[in-house]
Amino acid sequence: MLRLYDVDVSSRLLLGTARYPSPAVLSEAVKRSSTGIVTVSLRRETAGGRAGGAFFELIRQMAVRVLPNTAGCHSASEAVLTAKMAREVFGTDWIKLEVIGHHDSLQPDVFELVEAARILTGEGFSVFPIRRTI
């Protein structure tokens, strides 16, 4: 059992939802993994005219906790706006916070990350900051 922000989850495994060949494969992966949490990029799923609504409905039907993320954001203000939209879409205050500082390596901008975390925690979000390493 894992406890995160006063929430007990049955599995320590977090499963991403990107790059599956089909919704059926994603659903089966979530089912077979027994994960309790899936991460979702709001920006990635709504970009380029994708059918984000159908994807988000599929995620809601999986009966797992959703951890939206701010992948693709390059500033604190962009990450905060994305987190607020994710809260509206998924009905959760959890956010996996990412702010890109270097486009090629995807290393974070730690100053913008800290600023975004400060703002979001002040607005009641449960923040999971991400630090990538090479």
Find, among 15, 36, 37, the residue nearest to 26 by Cα.
Answer: 15
Residue in 66, 96, 99, 113 annotated catalytic: 96
Examine the residue annotation and report whether 31 is marked as an active-site residue of this protein.
no
Find, among 7, 84, 77, the residue nearest to 42 by Cα.
Answer: 84
Find, among 40, 19, 15, the residue nearest to 30 by Cα.
Answer: 15
Distance of alpha carbon 6 from alpha carbon 105, whole angstroms: 34
Distance of alpha carbon 52 from alpha carbon 44, whole angstroms: 9
| Structure-derived torsion over alpha carbons of residues 88, 90, 45, 56, reported in degrees to the nearest 10 | -130
Which residues are known catalytic residues?
96
